A and B are shown apart, each in its own frame.
Chain A
């Protein structure tokens, strides 16, 4: 039976805990070094299907500023982040916008909405 230990830094919060995951035959069997439950989940996800939040900006018509900052509602597959960012480059929102408003529903069919991260008044 192949037992492998992998050391990584958790990225769930600025603490950056150092995690050691034990992988037995391709399955994560234990995670140590995390100081909260999110660390264990991160290590398992990172070794099987890494996920990332996406933050970017989109252009906005009629807004107080030129750009609207946006954020993915939940994490997206790491391998799709650049594709999603490219998709957002062509998006134009319309003011007014409230924090949390959906700007792009279900981006690239991944089941995750892109939402506004602040209010933007119309002018």
Chain B
């Protein structure tokens, strides 16, 4: 009988997070890394994001989604330490006598268990659907999430419809407005329930304004017309509590509705495993090395918190890969200090939620935050039990654009008590 193989690291998901983690883990001394991917190829959602604008931070060049995925894959494909299994669905992860047992299934091996000294969770996120936002009315054909429509148009070669209304002005909705226009469809309107768009400004300009597509802020769909197929929508203005205002209804004819109404980190496996989930990010609570509440379980990318830039996903996954490699090699130093990082005024979420420091640790820490509301000329203020840690003026903050700030190593070393991050000033 051959000895049971235990991988240094098993990575769940082969999108940009998983591939970047694998690359970094290999560079940092991990000898055996297994990437499990459920789709027919690696690259994740990037493969259907055919537009450009990716990679300026991480690769210092502007790439399309498939181009970015290609680069991530090219960096690991010839590495002997990295093994990739596609068409492989992970069903369950459990802890057993210090190793992580991953149960997965694929057409070649059937049901199988693989073991890892460490696991990196990089499952990404999925879209909220019609059910999640409770649009009343019939269930006719023609209602799609924007990402599902994106896959149909960009990878499978079908058009979901011809006259389109998009609900939600997040980036996927905006990108799809342009994409459908380029394919000869008519996008009648983009509706946004918030008084501001949740998409990047550049996407409002080049995806809506360029194609004369109207954006209705503080509006939502209050009715879907049609029984077998969508025939139109009823749209209402909403008040400052997002409640539809009676008497403001108007109709738009369309045959297709695309929903771009938010993303949810995909954490069913994490929850079953027993990882602590943060109620606000809906992702695992992590420290600055992206280690979760469980020893040897790391998480990075959209499974931790939804990012707007894939570049930051790669950056974060490289951190997870590095420290998973160090842990697998038995070189991790035990943490002696555990500092909580809490969002204060004006800050909705902050990752990592903990800074755990070993004796003599000498490392800078990058915090990623989201603002609660759009503001101009604000100050990002980091404090601890002793008062000021640092202040950084920011010309503009928006909930849709993640804020990154580095706490230098010397300041990390001097941290005393829990840390609070606030956005001050504005208006």
B183-224 interface (Cβ within 8 A of A): 183-184, 200-202, 204-206, 210
Contact status A118-B69, CB under 8 Å: yes
B242 CB-CB contact with A under 8 Å: no
| Cross-chain contact of B156 among A52, A66, A69 (Cβ < 8 A) | A66
A78 CB-CB contact with B under 8 Å: yes
Contact status B66-A117, CB under 8 Å: yes
Q: Is the interface of A mostly helix, strand, loop or mixed?
A: mixed
| Cross-chain contact of A85 among B155, B182, B206 (Cβ < 8 A) | B182
| Cross-chain contact of B64 among A12, A16, A69 (Cβ < 8 A) | A69
| Residues in chain A near residue B425, CB distance under 8 A | none
- Which of the segments B51-59, B99-107, B120-128, B141-149 contacts the partner chain? B51-59
Contact status B201-A9, CB under 8 Å: yes
Measured CA separation A67–B51 after assembly (Å):
14
Contact status B50-A53, CB under 8 Å: no
A18 CB-CB contact with B under 8 Å: yes
Find the A residue at minimum CB distance from B376: A18
Contact status A89-B184, CB under 8 Å: yes
Q: A16-B200, A56-B182, A85-B183 are in contact. List 9 more A-B contacts (CB 8 A).
A: A14-B308, A14-B401, A16-B201, A55-B50, A57-B50, A66-B156, A69-B64, A81-B210, A99-B70
Within the complex, the shortest CB–CB distance from B67 to chain A, in Å, comes to 5
Interface string of A53-83 (1 = CB under 8 A from B): 1111101000011110111000000100110
State whether A13 and B67 are in contact (beta carbons under 8 Å apart), knowing that A67-B155, A86-B184 are contacts in the complex.
no
B28 CB-CB contact with A under 8 Å: no
| Cross-chain contact of B157 among A64, A66, A86 (Cβ < 8 A) | A66
Find the A residue at minimum CB distance from B157: A66
| Residues in chain A near residue B201, CB distance under 8 A | 9, 11, 16
Contact status B52-A67, CB under 8 Å: no
Contact status B205-A11, CB under 8 Å: yes
Q: Top 7 A-B pairs ranked by shortest CB distance? A: A16-B201, A118-B66, A11-B202, A69-B50, A117-B64, A85-B182, A66-B157
Find the A residue at minimum CB distance from B63: A117
Contact status B155-A13, CB under 8 Å: no
B361 CB-CB contact with A under 8 Å: no
A40 CB-CB contact with B under 8 Å: no
Residues of A that sit less than 8 Å from B by CB:
8-14, 16, 18, 52-57, 59, 64-67, 69-71, 78, 81-82, 85-86, 89, 99, 117-119
Within the complex, the shortest CB–CB distance from B61 to chain A, in Å, comes to 11
B396 CB-CB contact with A under 8 Å: yes
| Residues in chain A near residue B56, CB distance under 8 A | 13-14
| Cross-chain contact of A59 among B66, B70, B157 (Cβ < 8 A) | B157
Contact status B183-A16, CB under 8 Å: no
B277 CB-CB contact with A under 8 Å: no
- Residue in A53, A70, A89 whose Cβ sees the most chain B Cβ within 10 Å: A53
Measured CA separation A12–B63 after assembly (Å):
12
- 6 A–B contacts, CB within 8 A, in A order: A11-B201, A54-B182, A66-B157, A67-B154, A99-B67, A99-B70
